[in-house]
Amino acid sequence: MTVETTLGRYLLFLGDTVEPGYAKTAFGLRDWAGERCVGELALPAATVSTGLPSLSPQQAQAQGATALVIGVAAPGGLIPESWVPALLDGLEAGLDLVSGMHVKLAQVEPLRAAAERLGRRLIDIRTPPVNIPVASGRRRSGKRLLTVGTDCALGKKYTALALARALRARGVDADFRASGQTGILIAGGGMPIDAVVSDFVAGAAEMLSPAAAPHHLDVIEGQGSLFHPAYAGVSLGLLHGSQPDLFVVCHDPGRTHILGFGDTPLPSVEAVIAQTVALGRVTNPAIACAGVALNTSAMEADVAQAVIDALSQRLGLPVADPMRGGAAFDQLLNHIQERV
C-alpha cells in the first residue's frame, strides 16, 4: 500500500501517554521524517514528549501542518473517548486525521460526522490491500534481511532504517520495507502486517518483498517477537513469508521482561537466534544471523561500548547500536555485505 499523506506535514498527537514505548510512532516520525513534523499535541495527563514544539491544531495548521497524526498506541488499538475532543479540534482546524490504530477512525461516530461535515480525510494506515494471496513458500530471487527482536518497541524499525540507509551509502542496492504503521508513514508505502488475517500473513510478507535482482537487498522491518505471548503469531508469519537470508536480532539490554507483560521474562539473544533459525528454515534452509543491534540509548557511551563488546565476544558475532554508529556498526555492515 502507499500513503498519500507522506507529502504533507504533521502535528503529532501524544494523547495522555505515560509510557515512551507506546509512543514509538511519534518518535519514529520525529527521528526519520523530522522535516515533516511541525510540533506535538499532548493532553494534560501525558508525561511523554518528543521535544518538538507544543502547538494547538490551529497553530500547527498556520505553520503548514496538513494532518494530525495519532503518534501513540493505546491498549487494544482503540481510540479512548478522552482523545476525541482533541481529535475533533484537529478536524475543525483544517487538519486531516491519520491513525495507525486497529480501530478505524470512521468507526468513532463523532469523528466520522465531523470529517464529513468539514470535508476532511480520515486516513487509516492499518488497512491492508485486498486479495492478499496465501503464501506460496517458493523461493524468489533477490536477497532479504529481516530485523527480529527479543520484544516489541526496542528498535527493529530503527535498525532496519539505519541498515538500509548505511548500505545504500556504501553502494548496495538496498530498500527498506515497512511492515508497521510508522514505517509506512516514513517510507510512503509498505504492508501493515499485523492487520492482515492470520492465514494470509506470510502471503502479505511475500508481497512486501517480491522477487528482485540477484544482488538486491530488501531490509524488512520486523514486528513483535517470536517469544511474545500476544504477538508471536505475527512475527512467525512475517518470518516465513520474508524468507530472509539474514536476520539481525534487536535487543534492549536494560529490559528484563516483555513490555506490558511483567510476568514474562525477556528471552536471551541466544534463544532468539536459535528459535529464528529453527523456524526460519521452513522457508529458507540457509537462513543465518548477521549480528545483533542493541538499543543503548539509556546508557553512557563507555557503558554502552562495554556491553556491546561483551555481547559480541560472547556470541562471536558483530554487535552494534545502529544509532551510535562507529566502528562496531561498520563491522556489522561489513558482515552483511560479505553475505549479499
For 72, residues 6+ apart whose C-beta sits below 8 A from its C-beta are 13, 14, 15, 17, 22, 23, 25, 26, 48
- Please report the pLDDT score of residue 78 as a whole number: 81
Say how far apart CA 235 and CA 315 lie, in whole Å.
23
User: Residue 192 is placed in which grid cell?
Assistant: 501493515
Q: Of 270, 124, 138, 262, which Cα lies nearest the Cα of 211?
A: 138
Q: What is the pLDDT along the chain (340 residues), one digit of tens a residue?
A: 555 445 589 999 999 999 888 898 999 999 999 999 999 999 999 999 999 999 999 999 999 999 999 999 876 678 999 999 999 999 999 999 999 988 999 999 999 999 999 999 999 999 999 999 999 999 999 999 999 999 998 999 999 999 999 999 999 999 999 999 999 999 999 999 999 999 999 999 999 999 999 999 999 999 999 999 999 999 999 999 999 999 999 999 999 999 889 999 999 999 999 999 999 999 999 999 999 999 999 999 999 999 999 999 999 999 999 999 999 999 999 999 999 9
Say how far apart CA 262 and CA 310 lie, in whole Å.
27
**Pairing between β-strand 217-220 and β-strand 96-99 as defined by DSSP bridges:** unpaired
- Please report the pLDDT score of residue 7 as a whole number: 56
Instruction: Tally Cβ neighbours within 10 Å of residue 157.
Output: 28
Quickly list H helices, the chain: 24-32, 57-62, 84-92, 109-118, 156-169, 181-187, 201-208, 232-242, 269-280, 301-315, 326-337
Give yes or no for a contact between 189 and 176, defined as CB atoms under 8 angstroms apart.
no
Angle in degrees, 0-180, between the axes of helices 326-337 and 301-315, rounded to the nearest 10: 30
Q: ∠ CA(192), CA(198), CA(200), 5° rounding?
A: 75
* Tally of CA atoms within 13 A in the half-sphere of 10 that contains its CB: 31
- Please report the pLDDT score of residue 8 as a whole number: 84
Q: What strand order describes the sheet that includes 217-220?
A: 174-177, 217-220, 143-149, 246-251, 288-294, 319-320
Helices then strands, each counted (H, E), the chain: 11, 11
- Please, what are the domains in the chain? 4-124 (3.40.50.720), 143-337 (3.40.50.300)
